[in-house]
Every structure is written in C-alpha cells, then in structure tokens.
Structure 1
Amino acid sequence: MTTSRIIFVTGATGFIGSRLVPRLLKRGHTVKALVRHPEQAGRLRALGVQLQSGDVTRPDGLAEGMRGADWLLHLANHYSLHERDESIFAHVNVQGNRNVMQAALDAAVEKVVHISSGVSYGVSPDQPLREDSRVGPHPNAYWRTKHAGDEVVQSFKDQGLPVVTLYPGAVVGPGDPNATGQWIRRLVRQRQVLRAFEGSGFTFVHVEDVAEAIVRAAEREDNVGERYLIGQEYLTNRAFVELVAELSGRPMPPIVLPDRLAHASAAFLEKLEKWTGLPPLLGFTGNSARHLAAGFRFGSSKAKDELGLMYTPVRQAVAEDIATLTL
C-alpha cells in the first residue's frame, strides 16, 4: 500500500481533476485543492478536500498554500480553440506554470506531476510521436502556449525541481465540456453540417485513464524526470465522426469540404464572428480548422510498461459521453 501523502492539486474542479481527486482520497491521500472560488467548490469540500483560495495567474500566496504538501499535481490550464483575446492562453498556460513551479520550488515539494498535452509536440517530424520526439510547428495559440508552458517547467527541472510530465491525447468521456465534447454534441444534435480534414486525426484517451495515469505517475518512486504520452487508440476525423453517428443513431454531416476550401471557410467564419460579435458559426474558426488539420498520433507503450496503465476503448468513452446528452 502506498504511503499516504499530502497532495496539492491545481485544476481539481476540471474535467480530469474531478476524476482525479476521488481516486487520491480513495487511496488514503490528503488532498488540498487550489480553487478560485471556494464558495463554489462544495463538492470538493463535501469529499473532505482542503480548499486553498487562489489562482495560478496570481503568485501571491501560492507557496504558502503549498507549503507542507508532499506532492504537487498541476492540471490547471486554459483549453480552448477560440478566444477573442488570445492573451489568456499565455497568461494561464505559460505565466501560470511559472507561478506554480516557483511556488513548488519555494515550498520544497518532493514531487511534481505536470499535466501537459500531446499538442505540445506541435506538428512533429517524428510520426507517430514518441516521448523523445522533436517539436514541430504549432498551428494555434493553444498549442503554442502548451509547449511554451512546458519549456517553463523544464527550466525549473533544470533548477532541481523533481518533475514528471504527462502528455494526454484528446481526452474524451462523460460530460466532456471541452472541444471534443462540443464536437460530439454538435454531431449528435445535428448542428454540424460540415465534415473536413477527414484524413487527419487524433489519439484519443478516456478521461478516467488520464486520472489513473496521474495517480500512478505520482506514486511510482523512480520516475522523476520521465515523460509519458497517455493514449493508444488513433482515429481519423472521419472515423471519429462515423463512430459518433453509429453510437447516436444520427446521420453523418452531409457536406464534405476539401482541405483548402475548409481552411478558407473557417477564415471567413472567423471574420464574420469579428464583424458581428456573435459566437463562431458551427464552432468553426481558423484556429479550430488548423487544430483539426494538424492532429497528432501516438501509441506509446511507456505508460503501460512503466505505470501498468490499461486503456479503455475510445468507443466506450464516446458512448458514455453521448449517454449524458438529452437528445
């Protein structure tokens, strides 16, 4: 049985964090969570989590709140494929990382597990990706700032901070509020009439598998400095849309755009959004188009071999998300 630890968690109320915290508590750990609005974190409080008021973008008080913790699990980030003011990406994903890692160094935590993303590698020349793959171009601000944030973390590793980094694939599961879940909802509710970039795709991973990987990476004793890609099953964008259509009983979107036309259409819709002030039509913008066109692919065995991680079929993850919808 793993020795009980005091664990400081950022992003505890998020899609992954809400699955992670109960796992930690079940294994006998004490959890302290950084939350922006403690009065809105009743679920965490009911579980017995200690709430620390604060924000990764504000360094004041972070180290004091973290002091006494054995481990830091850093999940907080800003994930979006469209923002009118893109400075928020750097504010949270880069400066936020700097604030949190400095606090961890000041508080002398014994171990940090940093949760990044497969997008950090950009469009790598090494395909499929490996943990030691080279970094390629980044097609939008979210991808760029995830990598820039990782470089910040690396700079603290160079100062002696004991860090393990996880790179999940495209996370999916019940109640997904993020880009993949939004895509599923548009498809199921037949608000998605276009298909594009059908030959590109992503390695998907169940949200529960990511939470389990974080616990296992934290509890393993000899892996400081290691990196783990988290995911195994790759689907092209076409295959993913076909899966959603099959599981939901809804038809495939009827219009398929060639890649060049898709990029042009996305750019036009983005300009239309700026002119009108309305949300992007069909959730399609230049940033989201570049995201879909780039994709990423990996099937790393390292997390399975070293952490004993077993993966849930993507089909199950998608089915569970669809089941949460009111059709």
Structure 2
Amino acid sequence: MPAPKSVFVTGATGFIGSRLVPRLLKRGHHVTALARRPEQAGHLRALGVQLLRGDVTQPESLTEGMQGADWLLHLANHYSLHERDESIYTRVNVVGNRNVMRAALEAGVGKVVHVSSGVSYGISPDQPLREDSRVGPFPNAYWRTKHLGDEEVWHLHRQGLPVTAVYPGGVVGANDPNATGAWIRRLAQRRQPVRAFEDRGFTYVAVDDVAEAIVLAAEREDNVGERYLIGREFLTNRAFVELVAELAGSPLPPLVLPDRLAHLNAALLGRLEAWMGVRPVMDFTPSSARHLAAGFRFGSEKAERELGLQYTPVREAVAQDLATFRPSAR
C-alpha cells in the first residue's frame, strides 16, 4: 500500500463516489471533495473529508482544492439518457472535463485518474471492445459528450498532464439512482410491461468493483497514459430482464416490441413530451431507445492483469440493489 496521499475528488457524492471515498480513507489518504452543496454532504464531513464548495462548470472554484494534491480522481459527470435541454451534457461532460483537467495541470497534480465510460467508444466497429478500439458513431448526446470529454482529457495529457483513465461498463449495485437502477425497479415492481432490443446488451460491473478499480489505478505507479475497461460479464437485454425477474420473483414483461416498433413508440413518446411537457412513460425516448439498441461488449483482461482487479458477480450486485427497496428479494 502506498504512503498516504492528498486526494482531490470530484463526484464524491455520486453513485460511484460514495463507495470510493471510504476506500481512500481506509487506506489512510486525506480526501478533499468538491461539492456543489457542502451543506448536503455532512456524511462526508463526518468521515473526515474536507469539503470544498465548487462546480466543474466554474473553473475558478477548482484551483484551491487542487493545490498540493497528489492525486485527482475525477468522477463528476452528467449521466442520463434523456434531457429536454441537451446542452447540460456539453456543459458538464465536455467543458467541465476541460476545466478540471486544466486546473490539475496548472496545479501540478501528481496523478489524475479520469473516470469515463464504455459509451465513450460509441458503436465501435471493434467488437468486443478493447482499450485501443476505434471509435464509432454515437447514438445520443450522452455517448457523444462522454467521448468529447475524453478528448479534452487526452489533449491535456499530451501537454503533460499525468492521466490514467478507467472505462466502466453498465454499473449496478445497491441504491442505484441512475437509469439502470430505475429499470430494475420498474421490472421488480411490475411497472415495465414491454421488452425491446432483446438481442442487444451491455457488459455490466458492480459499483464497488468500479470504486476499487479507481483506487488500484491511482496506486499503480507505472500506468500514466493507460486506459482500462472495467467489467467482464456481458448480458443481453433479455438476459438482464430475466435475471431481475428471477431475483425479484416478478414475471417477465409480457410484450416484446420489434425493433422498428420500439423506435417508433419512443419517437411518439418523445413528441408527446415536446408538445405537452409530459415525461415519457418508462423514460422511453428516442435517446434511451438508441442507447438500448446500441449496447456494448468487452472483457476486462487488462484491468485484471495489470491492476489485480477481482470482480463481484453481476447477479450479486443486482440482488444488492433489489434488497434496498424489496427486503424480500432473494
């Protein structure tokens, strides 16, 4: 275990960040966390985290916390599959990345671990994905801005910023507030009557494993410039739905939409939202439909080999999430 470090964390209050910070503290590191609303992050302060008010879209708020930092662990991003105003993706995922990385370079941070996503590769022609895979087209604004944000990071790396990056797959685990967690809840509570794009799918990974991968990537001393895909288990959308149904004791959604009909249905719901301001049923929009229809697949040999990462079965991570709102889940 390396000597204690001074660590600056963005996104510390998020799904992954809430698992990351306790790991850092347990290893003896001193953590400063950027928080838009420090008054709502008292749980971090209680752990001994120094809170700094700021936002990745406000570059002047980033300088103070990075002074003297050994590591920057950058998790902050805007993750959703649908926004009426898509400019938020660019503000946070692109401009925000640029602001954070410029501040780190100016502050002389010793090492940066940038947390991206498998979607940054787009619909790559190289399947399964590898860390050096080519980039393909992007099905929605979230995927596109994750890639553009990465480009900002690697541009500054070429100017001397010591970056290592991790690219998680679909992240699952207890108390998931994001799109996958909402999908699991709808399935378990019988509020998801349809299935679609059943032969497509994603590589999934437990949220605790992503947090561990970030720490391991930071601790390794000879991996500046490296990329690590994080995840191993690929599940088709049908297999994922079947897994949730089995664990929750719920029936499978009875209706299966052909691809073209699913896209048409999403388009109609999107237009209804535009006309009436009604949020689409099941958050099914053209953007989320294209996300499900695209998917991604990869293995994690590099992360396992170089970082020593070991994986929690996805089945266990899904069960942990179900248990947070269905105590009877098996």
Instruction: Verify same fold: TM over 0.5.
Output: yes
Q: Matched residues in 2 for 1:276 and 1:194: separation?
A: 23
Q: Matched residues in 2 for 1:248 and 1:36: separation?
A: 36
Q: Matched residues in 1 for 2:64 and 2:17: separation?
A: 22
Return the letter of the residue paired with 2:72: L
Could you tell me which residue of structure 1 aligns to residue 315 of structure 2?
Answer: 315
SS, match of residue 97 in structure 2: helix
Could you tell me which residue of structure 2 aligns to residue 130 of structure 1?
Answer: 130
Q: Matched residues in 2 for 1:172 and 1:190: separation?
A: 19
1:264 aligns with 2:264: yes
Return the letter of the residue paired with 1:234: F
* Structure 1 residues 187-230: Cα deviation after superposition (integer angstroms, max 9, x where no partner): 01111011000000000000000000000000000000000000
SS, match of residue 256 in structure 1: strand
Return the letter of the residue paired with 1:270: G
Q: Matches of residues 228-243 of structure 1 in structure 2 within 5 Å? A: 228-243=228-243
Q: Matched residues in 2 for 1:61 and 1:13: separation?
A: 17
1:106 aligns with 2:106: yes
SS, match of residue 205 in structure 1: strand
Q: Matches of residues 14-163 of structure 1 in structure 2 within 5 Å? A: 14-163=14-163
Once the 2 structures are TM-superposed, how far is the Cα of residue 282 of structure 1 from its aligned partner? 1.5
Once the 2 structures are TM-superposed, how far is the Cα of residue 141 of structure 1 from its aligned partner? 0.2
TM value normalised by structure 2: 0.98
Return the letter of the residue paired with 2:124: S
Q: Matched residues in 1 for 2:266 and 2:259: separation?
A: 11
State, as a whole percentage, how many aligned pairs show the same letter.
74
Residue 118 of structure 2 contacts residue 167 of structure 2 at CA under 8 Å; is this kept in 1?
yes
Q: Matched residues in 2 for 1:65 and 1:250: separation?
A: 47
SS, match of residue 299 in structure 2: coil
Structure 1 residue runs of 4+, over 3 Å off?
A: none
* Structure 1 residues 260-283: Cα deviation after superposition (integer angstroms, max 9, x where no partner): 110011000111111221211121
Residue 55 of structure 2 contacts residue 61 of structure 2 at CA under 8 Å; is this kept in 1?
no
Q: Matched residues in 1 for 2:300 and 2:174: separation?
A: 24
* Structure 1 residues 231-273: Cα deviation after superposition (integer angstroms, max 9, x where no partner): 0000000000000000000000000000011001100011111
Return the letter of the residue paired with 2:104: A
Q: Matched residues in 1 for 2:282 and 2:67: separation?
A: 45
* Structure 1 residues 102-148: Cα deviation after superposition (integer angstroms, max 9, x where no partner): 00011100000000000000000000000000000000000000000
SS, match of residue 126 in structure 2: coil
1:245 aligns with 2:248: no
Return the letter of the residue paired with 2:149: G
Q: Matches of residues 186-265 of structure 1 in structure 2 within 5 Å? A: 186-265=186-265
Q: Matched residues in 2 for 1:54 and 1:144: separation?
A: 25
Q: Matched residues in 2 for 1:191 and 1:291: separation?
A: 20
Return the letter of the residue paired with 2:109: V
Could you tell me which residue of structure 1 aligns to residue 3 of structure 2?
Answer: 3
SS, match of residue 59 in structure 2: coil
SS, match of residue 142 in structure 1: helix
Q: Matched residues in 2 for 1:63 and 1:224: separation?
A: 22
Could you tell me which residue of structure 2 aligns to residue 180 of structure 1?
Answer: 180
TM value normalised by structure 1: 0.99
Once the 2 structures are TM-superposed, how far is the Cα of residue 303 of structure 1 from its aligned partner? 0.4
Tell me the matched-pair count.
327
SS, match of residue 215 in structure 1: helix
Return the letter of the residue paired with 1:133: S
Return the letter of the residue paired with 2:313: P
Once the 2 structures are TM-superposed, how far is the Cα of residue 300 of structure 1 from its aligned partner? 2.3
Once the 2 structures are TM-superposed, how far is the Cα of residue 61 of structure 1 from its aligned partner? 3.0
SS, match of residue 60 in structure 1: helix
Could you tell me which residue of structure 1 aligns to residue 299 of structure 2?
Answer: 299
Once the 2 structures are TM-superposed, how far is the Cα of residue 65 of structure 1 from its aligned partner? 2.1
Q: Matched residues in 1 for 2:277 and 2:64: separation?
A: 42
Q: Matched residues in 1 for 2:213 and 2:147: separation?
A: 20
The 10-residue stretch of structure 1 (278-287 or 139-148) with the greater mean CA deviation from structure 2: 278-287
The gaps in structure 2 that reach 5 residues or longer are none
Q: Matched residues in 2 for 1:134 and 1:300: separation?
A: 17
SS, match of residue 112 in structure 1: strand
Once the 2 structures are TM-superposed, how far is the Cα of residue 326 of structure 1 from its aligned partner? 4.1
SS, match of residue 184 in structure 1: helix
Could you tell me which residue of structure 2 aligns to residue 168 of structure 1?
Answer: 168
